[in-house]
Amino acid sequence: MPNRTLTARKRIALVAHDHKKADLIQWASVNKERLISHELYATGTTGRLLQVALDTPVTCLLSGPLGGDQQIGSMIAEGKIDVLIFFWDPMSAQPHDPDIKALLRLVAVWDIPMACDRATADFIMTSPLMNQPYESILPDYDAYLKRKV
Q: What is the 3-state secondary structure (H, E, C) of 95-147?
A: CCHHHHHHHHHHHHHCCCCEECCHHHHHHHHHCHHHHCCEEEECCCCHHHHCC
**How many domains in the chain?**
1
Low-confidence stretches of the chain (pLDDT < 70) are: 1, 91, 93, 95
Catalytic residue among 23, 69, 89, 99: 69
Residue 61 identity: L
Domain range for 85 is 3-127+134-146
Q: Which residues are annotated as a binding site?
A: 17, 21, 43-46, 63-64, 96
Helix, strand counts (H, E) of the chain = 7, 7
Which amino acid makes up residue 14? L
Task: Give the pTM.
Answer: 0.92
CATH code of the domain covering residue 27? 3.40.50.1380
The question of whether 99 is a catalytic residue gets the answer no
| Cα 28 to Cα 76: distance, rounded to the nearest angstrom | 21
